[in-house]
């Protein structure tokens, strides 16, 4: 299949919420992406010691959330790969599958701030362009030496995109469920129903 431009949205999606969906949709329209592929991470390198809902369930929730958008897809690539998920390996895969496509990696500003800890950032920079979306609570001007911490080539491959700010995070959703606070309107109804039905994120 020939695709001119492809977006990749990586994350833990524990669970997926409207912050992820609005980031992907705004990037899709602004950069005329034909498809956006959501890729739930198997073992996120930065969250190894963390109580993570199993990958099949996170995948299932992403599938429910993206089902109504014909340009959105979910991939089990990282879930199937043994060991830790590295974005550079994922991008390598997509570059080989879609040699004629321009590939964009979509991320929030908080991810940019830790990008210098990612594996092979130089190589990653050669494989894709980056769309960095705004996120409430994160300000590029307040991050110390972010310009110097990333390879010079990175900045010519990066575009910033201002999106409607949704101060929603998966960790806050998990905490709210545990404390009996509402999560309605923070994520798709189908995903909330699934969380309730399966008793996810409940304390004890």
Taking a C-beta distance cutoff of 8 angstroms, is the pair 13, 20 a contact?
yes
Smallest distance from ligand ATP to CB 110, Å = 5
Taking a C-beta distance cutoff of 8 angstroms, is the pair 147, 113 a contact?
no
The H or E element containing residue 125 is helix 121-127
Total length of the chain: 204
Site for ligand ATP in 147-166 (CB under 6 A): 166
Binding mask 84-123 for ligand ATP (x = CB under 6 A): -----------------------xx-xx------------
Nearer to ligand ATP, 28 or 135 (CB): 135
Nearer to ligand ATP, 125 or 169 (CB): 169
Backbone phi and psi for residue 198, each to the nearest 5 degrees, phi listed first: -95, 0
Smallest distance from ligand ATP to CB 173, Å = 8
Taking a C-beta distance cutoff of 8 angstroms, is the pair 5, 82 a contact?
no
Return the structure tokens found at 12: 């833990």
Which segments of 115-204 are extended strands (E)? 129-133, 158-161
Nearer to ligand ATP, 139 or 171 (CB): 171
According to CB under 6 A, which one of 7, 11, 21, 59 is a site residue for ligand ATP?
11
Residues that bind ligand ATP (CB under 6 A): 11-14, 19-20, 23, 107-108, 110-111, 133, 135, 166, 168-171
């Amino acid at each position: 299949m020939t695709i001119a431009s492809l977006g990749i949205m990586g994350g833990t999606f524990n669970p997926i919420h409207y912050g992820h969906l609005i980031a992907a949709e705004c990037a899709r329209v602004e950069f005329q992406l034909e498809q956006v592929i959501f890729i739930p991470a198997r073992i996120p390198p930065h969250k190894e010691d963390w109580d993570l809902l199993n990958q099949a369930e996170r995948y299932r929730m992403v599938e429910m959330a993206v089902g109504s958008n014909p340009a959105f897809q979910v991939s089990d690539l990282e879930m199937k790969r043994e060991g830790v998920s590295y974005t550079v390996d994922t991008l390598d895969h997509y570059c080989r599958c879609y040699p004629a496509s321009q590939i964009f990696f979509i991320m929030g500003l908080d991810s940019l701030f830790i990008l210098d800890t990612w594996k092979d950032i130089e190589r990653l920079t050669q494989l894709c362009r980056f769309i960095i979306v705004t996120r409430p609570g994160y300000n590029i001007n307040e991050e110390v030496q972010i310009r110097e911490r990333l390879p010079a080539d990175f900045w010519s491959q990066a575009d910033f995109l201002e999106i409607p700010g949704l101060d929603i995070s998966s960790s806050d959703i998990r905490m709210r469920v545990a404390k009996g606070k509402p999560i309605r309107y923070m994520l798709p109804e189908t995903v909330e129903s699934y969380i309730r039905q399966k008793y996810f994120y409940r304390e004890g």
